[in-house]
Amino acid sequence: MDWASILGNGLRSGFGPQAASYALLAIGLNMHYGFTGLLNFGQVGFMLVGAYGVGISVATFGWSMWVGVLVGILGAIVLALIVGIPTLRLRADYFAVTTIAVAEVLRLIVRSGSAEEVTGGPFGLQSIADEFHALNPIPNGTYGIGGLSYSSGQLWSLLVTWGVALVATVVVILLMRSPWGRVIKAIREDEEVARALGKGVFSYKLQSLVIGGVIGALGGVMFAIAGQTVNADTYQPQVTFFAYTVLILGGAATRFGPLVGAVLFWFLFSSVSAALRQAANAEYLPGFMTTGGATGAVVLATVGLALVLLMVFRPQGLMGRRQDVITLTS
Amino acid sequence: MGAKRVLFGQRIRLLLSPRDARHAAGHRYRAWSVVLGLVIVLTTMLAPAAVAVETPSPGDDATQGGEQATEQGVTGTLRDDESEPVEGVTIVVTDASGAEVAEAETDSSGQWEAMVPTGGTYTVELDTGTLPEGVELRDPENNPLEVQVPEGRTRPVIFQLGEGEADRAQAQAIARAVANGLKFGLIIAMAGVGLSLIFGTTGLINFAHGELVALGAMLTWYFNVDDPQIQLIGAAAIGIALTAAFGAGLERGIFLPLRRRRFGLFQLVIITIGISLLIRHLLLLFFGGSPRTYSDYVGQEALHFGPVSLTPRDIVIMCLSVLILVAFATMLQRSRTGKAIRAVADNPALASASGIDVDRVTLVVWTLGAALAASGGVLFGSAVAVDWFMGFRLLLLMFAAVILGGIGTAYGAMAGGLVIGLVTELSVLWFPSELKYMWALLALIVVLLVRPRGILGQRERIG
């Protein structure tokens, strides 16, 4: 077993652009779930809208990528309004089921053959971020220390994506310090109390949904830009569940939880995958665990188990406070 | 993730193809018209007449096929849809004034030829009364045909025989979609009842419910095909019993202790997601990624009921589903436990105050719900196939069914399941089949917009 390469794999993934995109998803979810108490199970839908906003604008209509970013953000706002206006008045669990259904409907639509002219259907769209990579100021080459190294393109993507994630974090911190944020947290604690104090609970929830959705869409935008491609199969419902794991790992309703959670989640995810692959190659594992796809299955099962154990034994995550754990007992 | 994409595609194809494949067993004749009809319906979205028959348009200067004759005329060959020649059919040619100018009869090779005096426009009519039993014009609107006959040439005229494809294919496709929709809907209803009742008794949305479906189906597959190779009914009994025990174990081992520790619903819901990811990928790990079928009741010959063809297996699946649902409803309605379940689902606090042991009822609901989910999984696996991802795919449809019918009620889940089954299968008639699940989910969203309590739900449940 080559522990250095396993560690390097984990670190590269933990600080990589993908982890940063998941951090953005989790920051958005933190807005919804951590601060407002909205059980949004369709965060991947916002991610999809952001990514396809860029992809369709560039690859299908030939617009500038920056227009595409705007399209993605506007799309997320529209999606939040469409989902939120009818369902935020309903009980929290209806909202949860609706959001997961909407996200899956979006995925099925962009994936369908009948949408191929616009979305590329099952094949997706490629070469959507040449403009972004043309701006790369970092000279060609490999950068890093030891196992942790990136090409100049990856480095550029990850720096910008983590930059966006940091900005989003600061925005959320400022928002939550404002009077608006206090109302939002009051809604999480007890909706009726907030309503009794004359706050328009529905409108606050909708605003929270829009803000968190836009942050999630930025995650999709950066994910698509870093990978230069959009493909419907990336946006499976389990992406939302991963984002929840990231959020709960770091600590829901904390300021830096999503960032820490994303690094840790992807570090563990990739290093465990690498370790399992090596163990399989070295024949340390029983036969059924070495067939194609088995390592992936083991890692994903472990994610599930980790989510259960986290929720049972440390629901506040690494950085959270016990009293901020969202209980909602209606 | 790549593997999942392939599976998803395979499933859609599987949902379409096995029935057609089953036809092929003994009914090639019928199978062809069915396949053709399906293709036509899918490609033209209910305007099959437009492409079903290649009509020779008047003025089409076709030269191939006809014999070179010194005189002008019309000719053709009649074959049925199995390309067998049809003998003894009368074809009458009239000129523009309506006077009969020639009559011909097909010979043993199905050929006919009618000579006309001059070039010009003629009307060629096939006397449908002379067609043998069971053979008719595929497109009756193309009889009689107006034909332009050039001077000194024989003009080929095509009459396509077979079944009245245009009308019949559509009627058949609809009937088949309804039958499939009912079958599929009954399975969803059965699997969804537990989801709805668990919600009703504990307020928990169980995201792992789909995995109970998959677990039951997979365990049954294991006992049926892999190790002891028990006949399907016995294997299903073991699979369902094990899944029921597993459901009871989840409640007693995880959810009851957590409820006692005052865990909030949000936390519990996220725990069900974790459990769902865990079970799903363990299934993938132990059973692999490819879809499996049971070893019994496959390759059956279809029975025909008017426009609908069903295999005996499909009929048994539907009857069993109805039977199980009726038995469950009777249990809910009549038995002491059933009444307690309904009381707890309606208002747990009130039920508890009236002396009902809510924890025991919840355990019963989890056990029965898991057993019903597993039965649904076995029936689905028998009708289509078993794979590790089937649970999650069905879960969203169960959500749709349960919310459509009114979450928290058993009968609502049944009604919703039927609607969802019909919506998914009927949508295939007009829209690409890859979008069929989308319509179910859209139906869910529309119901939430229009009538959030669902078809049978009560107003105060919305919150």
Chain B hits for A26, CB-CB cut-off 8 Å, are none
What residues are paired with B136 via a beta bridge?
B162
Alpha helices in A58-200 (DSSP H): 65-87, 92-111, 116-119, 130-134, 152-177, 179-189, 191-196
- CATH code of the region B73-159: 2.60.40.10
Portion 227-266 of A in contact with B at CB < 8 A = 233-234, 236-238, 241, 244, 248
Name the closest residue on chain A to residue B203, using Cα atoms: A330
Mean pLDDT of B66-76: 66
- Select the more confidently predicted residue: A274 or A217: A217
CA atoms within 13 A on the CB side of B128: 16
Q: Do B449 and A104 touch (CB under 8 A)?
A: no
Say yes or no for a CB contact (<8 Å) between B282 and A301.
yes
Contacts of A303 in chain B (CB under 8 A): 274, 277
In angstroms, the CA B137 to CA B160 distance is: 6
Residue of B nearest to A248 (CA): B270
Beta strands A125-126; A229-230: pairing state? antiparallel
Highest mean pLDDT among A157-166, B41-50, B70-79, B406-415: A157-166
B460 interfaces chain A, CB cutoff of 8 Å: no
Query: What's the whole-number mean pLDDT along residues B329-345?
Result: 90
A50 φ/ψ angles, rounded to the nearest 5 degrees: -60, -50
Q: What three-state secondary structure class fits B147? A: strand
| pLDDT (average), residues A291-315 | 86
Chain A residues closer than 8 Å to B458 by CB? none
* CB contact (8 A) between residue B266 and residue A122: no
CB-based contact, B115 to chain A, within 8 Å? no
A35, pLDDT greater than 50: yes
Minimal C-alpha gap between B438 and chain A (Å):
5
Whether B274 and A98 lie within 8 Å, measured CB to CB: no
Q: Is A323 on the interface with B (CB under 8 A)?
A: no
More confident residue, A100 or B297: A100
Contact A226, A289 (CB under 8 A): no
Instruction: At B102, give phi and psi (nearest 5°).
Output: -160, 160
CB-based contact (8 Å) between A190 and chain B?
A: no
* Confidence class for position B165, pLDDT limits 50, 70, 90: low
Q: Which long-range contacts (CB under 8 A, 24 or more apart) does B252-259 make?
A: B252/B363, B254/A308, B255/B202, B255/B204, B255/B366, B256/B359, B256/B362, B256/B363, B258/A312, B259/B202
* Chain A contact set for B424 (CB, 8 A): none
Q: Kindly determine whether residue A328 and residue B262, on different chains, have CB atoms separated by under 8 Å.
A: no
In tens, the pLDDT along A256-285 reads 999 999 999 999 999 988 888 888 888 777
Of A92-96, A107-111, B290-294, least confident by mean pLDDT is A92-96
CB B22, CB B302: distance < 8 Å: yes
Among chain A residues, the shortest Cα distance to B450 is held by A86
CA gap A151, A159 in Å, rounded: 12
User: Which residues on chain A are in Cβ contact (under 8 Å) with B403?
Assistant: 94, 97
> Do the Cβ atoms of B372 and B402 come closer than 8 Å?
no
Q: Strand locations in chain A, DSSP E?
A: 125-126, 142-145, 148-151, 229-230
Is B438–A109 a contact, with Cβ atoms under 8 angstroms apart? yes
CA B251 to chain centre: 34
Most confident of B62-66, B144-148, B334-338: B334-338
With an 8 Å Cβ cutoff, is A305 touching chain B? yes
Partner-chain contact A86 B286, CB within 8 Å: no
Q: Is B257 on the interface with A (CB under 8 A)?
A: no
Contact A39 B269 (CB under 8 A): yes
Highest averaged pLDDT of the listed ranges A284-288, B21-25, B88-92, B371-375: B371-375
Domains of chain A by start residue, with CATH? 3-324 (1.10.3470)
Residue linked to tokens 């139906």 = B443
Contact A101 B445 (CB under 8 A): yes
Q: Mind listing the pLDDT tens digit for each residue in B40-57?
A: 444 433 333 333 333 344
Measure CB to CB from residue A236 to each of B1, B266, B267 and give the nearest one.
Answer: B1
Return d(Cα B163, Cα B143) in angstroms, integer: 14
Tokens representing A205 are 């929830």
* Structural domain boundaries in chain B: 73-159, 166-461
Mean pLDDT of B162-166: 57
Q: How far apart are CA A320 and CA A273, in angstroms?
A: 27
DSSP code at position B57: P
CB contact under 8 A, A248 and B270: yes
Q: Is the pLDDT of residue B409 over 80?
A: no
Query: B91 has which bridge partners?
Result: B104, B126
The tens digit of pLDDT for each residue in B12-45 reads 333 334 444 444 444 444 444 444 444 444 443 3
Residue A25 has pLDDT above 60, yes or no: yes
Note whether B396 contacts A101, CB cutoff 8 Å: yes
Structure tokens given for A155: 């480095």
Averaged confidence pLDDT in chain B: 79
CA A98 to chain B, closest CA, distance in angstroms equals 6
* CATH 1.10.260 assigned to B166-461: no
The one-letter amino acid code at B381 reads: G
Whether B432 has its CB under 8 Å from any CB of chain A: the answer is yes
With contact defined as beta carbons under 8 Å apart, do A295 and A280 qualify?
yes
- Asked if the C-beta of A40 comes within 8 angstroms of chain B's C-beta atoms, the answer is no
Is A167 within 8 Å of chain B by CB? Answer: no
pLDDT at residue A130 above 80? yes
Among A24-33, A196-205, A282-291, B95-104, the range scoring the smallest mean pLDDT is A282-291
B452 inside 8 A of chain A by CB: yes
β-sheet bridge partners, residue B154 = B73
Exposure class string for A216-254: b at 16+ Cβ within 10 A, else e: bbbbbbbbbbbbbbbbbebbbbbbbbbbbbbbbbbbbbb
Q: Any CB–CB contact under 8 A between B253 and chain A?
A: no
CB distance B185 to B422 below 8 Å? yes
